[in-house]
């Protein structure tokens, strides 16, 4: 939830935008019981597992775990931030845009700083752009010509030029920006020699980094000649820029998705690869800006496409970062493949030497993670040498064990046979004789959540069920007082406090309000939401489960109190106090027996 927005305005906005109608404009929905079902718009699925809870005004996908209220849905489906989602819904409901009421001076100052930094970065981008068109940036222009970057691409990406270390800071000061804000933007730094303001990208070709909302948030700079320094340099981390959460060119990818839709995204390492591919017609390209892919970057990519191609350079032996990136993308339920390039070439090189047709052939040859791992392993060894061939076989067998089907293992073993000359039968025996991986924990059948699992798991399940029953208005839990239940988990405790506060004021409990309290990706929240659909909370079974959960939690509370008092009693030397404790222990023991 965005701080500074009037809660009453948000509630009115949600009430005027029925979630079923809003979602139904994007996803075909079918009513089943009290809920609406459809195929999830946030991941690929054949069988509908995406449900819209009409009464609670929230959605939840049992496939990928996506959940939220109407604002969250618009934010994710339109790939916009919170305020843009509010604007879309306000326009739909014909409501005026909200006024921001900042509740603290600290919040107001933080917004002022952020706005100032964005204004400074935008002004700096225009300054660099004016430089490259000034007739004084011959070296920068020559570099662009040498790299065969078209003028249209220069304009599209806003490339600019830093001519020296002094003129940008003076330009920004002359524009009236505060010195502290200029420094905070990251575009300007302090000179180590004399403490003066200097251009952090002094003398470099400038690549503005623009986020999905069209804001300039940082700069990348490329030196023009040979130097002992790194060729590329990024703005340091600031209030608006975190490289691990940013993808270069995501702004144009967002526009492409809105205009024509997207099936996949190509991820490259750097700025020049992005420009080269875009110019060659591969406009669905973003760059990780030289870093190994992070979970935040994977989630950002997932907003725009379900399939991702990783297209780093052709140095297979050094592609540990690419493998890790693949695994991160896969963990975010993206369909990921690696693009094999000729040894030693990057995407820019392939475009220059082989054209767009040559690069398309590389895309067509993209391989899944396990094939890529095997190829990377093969290129590490000289298979003509006995010792290295044996080392390769051992590493390859470890990789093949990861395969999720016997048919895939068989296919990969045949490939290994052809590469090494070792018989299939021998490779199969070695694979089968290897120690089996530890089996995954066996999931218990769905029975009484209060009576299965170990102690901690059993109590967690019980607390979830009690909260869900009250939250979603189960008949048998209508007047249940949560004050008698202890909630150790912070998510459980926050939900319980919300419910108790609403009950105290005689107001209805709204499940959709939870998305004002938590991020929609909170795992424990999703566990509770899972109980809202189907018959888990309904009928006699639901009532029986609820009673069992309450009894289990009360029994655990009494046992904990009994253990605590027993320990204190054993250590107590005052006879009067010891007698009182013994009396209380006896009472607790009698109470506990009633639950057994």
Single out the residue in 28, 62, 92 at which a domain terminates: 92
Q: pLDDT: is 355 or 323 the higher one?
A: 355
- What ranges make up the beta strands (E) of 25-176? 30-32, 35-38, 50-53, 58-61, 67-68, 160-161
Q: Are strands 264-268 and 35-38 parallel, antiparallel or unpaired?
A: unpaired
- What is the distance of C-alpha 253 from the center of its chain? 18
- What is the distance of C-alpha 399 from the center of its chain? 27
81 and 115 belong to one structural domain? no
Task: Give the tokens for residue 551.
Answer: 């009894």
Number of domains in the chain: 5
In a domain, 375, yes or no: no
365 and 389 belong to one structural domain? no
Q: Are strands 35-38 and 50-53 parallel, antiparallel or unpaired?
A: antiparallel
The model's confidence at residue 125, banded by pLDDT at 50, 70 and 90, is: very high
Q: pLDDT: is 569 or 80 the higher one?
A: 569
Burial label, 67 (beta-carbon count in 10 A; 0-12, 13-18, 19+): buried
In this structure, are residues 173 and 185 in contact, taking their beta carbons and an 8 Å threshold? no
Give pLDDT tens digits for 227-257.
Answer: 777 789 999 999 899 888 899 999 999 889 8
The model's confidence at residue 569, banded by pLDDT at 50, 70 and 90, is: confident
Residue that is written with structure tokens 């009690």 in the block: 466
122 and 192 belong to one structural domain? yes
141 and 29 belong to one structural domain? no
329 and 426 belong to one structural domain? no
In a domain, 398, yes or no: yes
51 forms beta bridges with 37, 60
Lowest mean pLDDT: which of 150-164, 202-216, 384-398, 541-555?
541-555
Q: CATH number of the domain that 167 lies in?
A: 3.90.980.10
Single out the residue in 341, 369, 397 at which a domain terminates: 369
pTM: 0.61
Task: Give the residue numbers spanning the domain of 218.
Answer: 105-241
The model's confidence at residue 154, banded by pLDDT at 50, 70 and 90, is: very high
Determine the average pLDDT of the residues in 586-592.
75
Q: CATH number of the domain that 52 lies in?
A: 3.90.580.10
Of all helices (H) and strands (E), which one includes residue 75?
helix 70-77
In this structure, are residues 462 and 449 in contact, taking their beta carbons and an 8 Å threshold? yes
pLDDT at residue 107 greater than cutoff 70: no
- pLDDT, position 439: 39
464 and 588 belong to one structural domain? yes
- pLDDT, position 136: 94
Task: Give the tokens for residue 328.
Answer: 């991160």
121 and 233 belong to one structural domain? yes
In a domain, 248, yes or no: no
The SS3 call for residue 226 is: coil
The model's confidence at residue 285, banded by pLDDT at 50, 70 and 90, is: very high
- pLDDT, position 178: 95
d(CA 134, CA 151): 15
In a domain, 97, yes or no: no
Which among 67-76, 90-99, 181-190, 495-504 has the top mean pLDDT?
Answer: 181-190
The model's confidence at residue 175, banded by pLDDT at 50, 70 and 90, is: very high
52 and 125 belong to one structural domain? no
Single out the residue in 369, 389, 422 at which a domain terminates: 369
Q: CATH number of the domain that 286 lies in?
A: 3.40.1360.10
Q: Which residues contact 191 (CB under 8 A, 6 or more apart)?
A: 165, 197, 198
Which residue from 199, 370, 350, 190 is spatially nearest to 277, judged by alpha carbons? 350
- pLDDT, position 318: 47
Average pLDDT of the chain is 83
In a domain, 157, yes or no: yes
d(CA 562, CA 592): 9
In a domain, 156, yes or no: yes
17 and 137 belong to one structural domain? no
Q: With helix as H, strand as E and coil as C, how does 550-569 read?
A: HHHHHHHHHHHHHHHHHHHH
36 and 165 belong to one structural domain? no
405 and 296 belong to one structural domain? no
In a domain, 374, yes or no: no
The model's confidence at residue 130, banded by pLDDT at 50, 70 and 90, is: very high
In a domain, 2, yes or no: no
532 and 560 belong to one structural domain? yes
Residue that is written with structure tokens 């222009």 in the block: 141
In this structure, are residues 175 and 304 in contact, taking their beta carbons and an 8 Å threshold? no
Q: Are strands 307-310 and 264-268 parallel, antiparallel or unpaired?
A: parallel
d(CA 395, CA 255): 44
């Amino acid at each position: 939830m965005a701080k500074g927005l009037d809660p009453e305005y948000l509630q009115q906005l949600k009430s005027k935008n029925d979630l079923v109608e809003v979602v139904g404009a994007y996803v075909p929905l079918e009513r089943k019981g009290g809920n609406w079902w459809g195929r999830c718009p946030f991941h690929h699925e054949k069988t509908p597992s995406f449900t819209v809870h009409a009464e609670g005004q929230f959605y939840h996908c049992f496939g990928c775990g996506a959940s939220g209220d109407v604002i969250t849905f618009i934010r994710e489906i339109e790939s916009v931030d919170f305020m843009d989602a509010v604007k879309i819904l306000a326009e739909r409901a014909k409501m005026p845009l909200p006024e921001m009421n900042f509740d603290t001076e600290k919040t107001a100052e933080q917004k002022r700083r952020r706005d100032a930094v964005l204004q400074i970065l935008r002004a700096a981008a225009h300054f660099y752009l004016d430089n490259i068109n000034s007739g004084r940036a011959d070296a920068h222009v020559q570099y662009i010509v040498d790299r065969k970057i078209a003028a249209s691409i220069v304009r599209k990406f806003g490339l600019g030029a830093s001519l020296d270390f002094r003129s940008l800071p003076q330009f920004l000061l002359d524009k009236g920006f505060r010195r502290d804000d200029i420094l905070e933007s990251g575009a300007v730094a302090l000179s180590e020699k004399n403490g003066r303001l200097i251009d952090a990208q002094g003398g470099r070709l400038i690549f503005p980094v623009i986020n999905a909302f069209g804001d300039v948030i940082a700069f990348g700079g490329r030196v023009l000649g040979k130097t002992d320094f790194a060729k590329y340099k990024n703005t340091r981390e600031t209030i608006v820029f975190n490289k691990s959460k940013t993808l270069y060119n995501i702004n144009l990818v967002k526009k492409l998705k809105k205009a024509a839709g997207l099936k996949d995204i190509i991820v490259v390492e750097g700025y020049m690869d992005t420009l080269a591919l875009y110019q060659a017609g591969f406009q669905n390209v973003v760059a990780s800006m030289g870093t190994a892919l992070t979970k935040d970057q994977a989630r950002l990519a997932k907003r725009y496409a379900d399939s991702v191609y990783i297209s780093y350079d052709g140095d297979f032996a050094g592609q540990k970062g690419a493998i890790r990136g693949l695994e991160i993308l896969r963990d975010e339920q993206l369909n990921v493949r690696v693009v094999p390039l000729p040894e030693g070439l990057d995407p820019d090189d392939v475009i220059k030497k082989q054209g767009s047709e040559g690069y398309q052939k590389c895309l067509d040859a993209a391989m899944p993670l396990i094939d890529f791992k095997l190829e990377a392993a093969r290129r590490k060894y000289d298979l003509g040498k006995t010792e290295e061939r044996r080392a390769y076989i051992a590493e390859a067998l470890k990789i093949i064990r990861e395969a999720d089907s016997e048919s895939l293992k068989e296919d990969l073993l045949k490939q290994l046979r052809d590469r090494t000359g070792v018989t299939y039968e021998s490779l199969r025996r070695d694979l089968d004789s290897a120690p089996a991986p530890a089996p995954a924990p066996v999931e218990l059948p769905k029975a009484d959540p209060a009576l299965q699992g170990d102690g901690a798991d059993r109590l967690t399940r019980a607390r979830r069920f009690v909260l869900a029953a009250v939250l979603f208005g189960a008949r048998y839990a209508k007047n249940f007082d949560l004050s008698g239940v202890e909630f150790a988990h912070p998510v459980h405790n926050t939900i319980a406090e919300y419910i108790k506060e609403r009950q105290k004021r005689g107001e209805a409990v709204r499940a959709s309000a939870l998305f004002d309290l938590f991020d929609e990706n909170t795992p424990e929240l999703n566990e509770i939401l899972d109980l809202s659909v189907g018959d888990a909370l309904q009928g006699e079974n639901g009532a029986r489960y609820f009673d069992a959960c309450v009894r289990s939690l009360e029994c655990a509370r009494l046992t904990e109190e009994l253990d605590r008092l027993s320990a204190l009693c054993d250590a107590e030397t005052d006879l009067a106090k010891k007698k009182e404790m013994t009396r209380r222990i006896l009472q607790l023991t009698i109470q506990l027996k009633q639950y057994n």
